Amino acid sequence: MPDTYALYRRLAAYPQGRRVFSLVFEQAAPYFRSARPRFVELGPNRAVLTVKKRRRVQNHLGTVHVIAICNGLEAAMGALAEASIPSTRRWIPKGMAVDYTAKATSDITCVAETDPAEWERTGDVEIPVRVKGLRADGTAVVEGTIRLWVTDKPAR
Q: What sections of 3-100 are H helices per DSSP?
A: 4-12, 17-28, 66-84
Summarised one tens digit per residue, pLDDT across range 131-148 is 999 999 999 999 999 999
Summarised one tens digit per residue, pLDDT across range 48-79 is 999 999 999 999 999 999 999 999 999 999 99
CB proximity list for 72: less than 8 A, separation 6 or greater: 32, 35, 37, 49, 50, 51, 108, 110, 133
Q: What is the pLDDT of residue 2?
A: 60
Q: What is the pLDDT of residue 13?
A: 93
In words, the CATH class of domain 4-152 is: alpha beta
Summarised one tens digit per residue, pLDDT across range 83-132 is 999 999 999 999 999 999 999 999 999 999 999 999 999 999 999 999 99
Asked if pLDDT for residue 1 goes beyond 70, the answer is no
> pTM above the 0.85 mark?
yes
DSSP code for 153: P
CB proximity list for 3: less than 8 A, separation 6 or greater: 82
Going from N- to C-terminal start, the domains of the chain cover 4-152
